[in-house]
Structure 1
Amino acid sequence: MTTILTVLHDSPYGSEKTYNALRIALALQEHADSPIKQRLFLMSDAVVAALSGQNTPDLSYHIGQMLEILMAQGVEVHLCKTCCQMRGVDESRLIEGAQISTLVELSQFTLGSDKVIHV
């Protein structure tokens, strides 16, 4: 089984980097020839992508819903603890299933992955 770690750094709605990274993750889930294990690790401003209650009436995409779809497909979503603390984000504000993690865990995910993508 191929293990893929994607590390996101950018704000969910300030550019299309996070959107496109999630599109790629969804496509990998759908089109992989053999089973894969994916993890997403959100850092910097990307941690706000996992906030629950996003209201995006004027946008053609909804980052929170994309994360929920990925988690329903078994993709793990982790957020940098330090980045969350700096932005006042705690687990009570997150989409169900997203979890706050540490750099030690990110290091373990990186070492245990076959492929690492930084966005």
Structure 2
Amino acid sequence: MTSILMVAHDSPYGSEKLYNALRIALAMQEHAEEPIQLRLFLMSDATVAAIKGQQTPDLSYNIQQMLEILLAQGVPVSLCRTCAEARGLSLDKVIEDVQIGTLVELTHYTLAADKVIHL
């Protein structure tokens, strides 16, 4: 089984970088010929993508919904603790099942992954 770590840094709605990263993650889950082990680690401004209760009536996509689909598919989603704390985020403010991670954990995920994608 191929292990893939995706690390995202961009804000959820300031550009479409995170949106496209999540589209790629969803497509990999759906179209992989063999099962993959995917993990998503959000850093910098990407951490705010995990805030629950997002309302995006004027946009054609909702980052919260995309993350919830990945979580339902068993994809672990972690936030950089330092980045999240700098933005006032804690577990009570984020989507259920999103975890707060550390740089040490990210290091372990990186070393264990067959492929690492930074977006």
Q: Distance in 2 between the 1:112 and 1:94 partners?
A: 26
> In the alignment, is residue 78 of structure 1 matched against residue 68 of structure 2?
no
In structure 2, C-alpha distance between the alignment counterparts of 1:97 and 1:18, rounded to whole Å: 19
Q: TM-score, normalised by structure 1?
A: 0.99
Secondary structure of 1:28's partner? Answer: helix
Q: Per-residue deviation at 1:59?
A: 0.3
The answer to whether structure 1 residue 19 and structure 2 residue 19 are counterparts is: yes
2:38, 2:94 → 1: CA distance?
Answer: 19
Q: Secondary structure at the match of 1:11?
A: coil
Identity of matched residues, %: 69
1:101 matched residue in structure 2: 101
Residue 105 of structure 1 and its aligned partner are, at CA, apart by 0.2
Aligned residues: 119
Residue 61 of structure 1 pairs with residue 61 of structure 2: yes
Corresponding residue for residue 34 of structure 1: 34
Structure 1 position 72, deviation (Å): 0.4
Return structure 1 stretches of 4+ with deviation > 2 angstroms.
none
Structure 2 gaps, min length 5: none
TM-score (norm 2): 0.99
User: Take 2:76 and 2:38, find their aligned partners in 1: how far apart are those partners?
Assistant: 7
Distance 1:3 1:95 in 2: 24
Q: Distance in 1 between matches of 2:114 and 2:51?
A: 29
DSSP-derived class of the 1:3 partner: strand
RMSD: 0.4
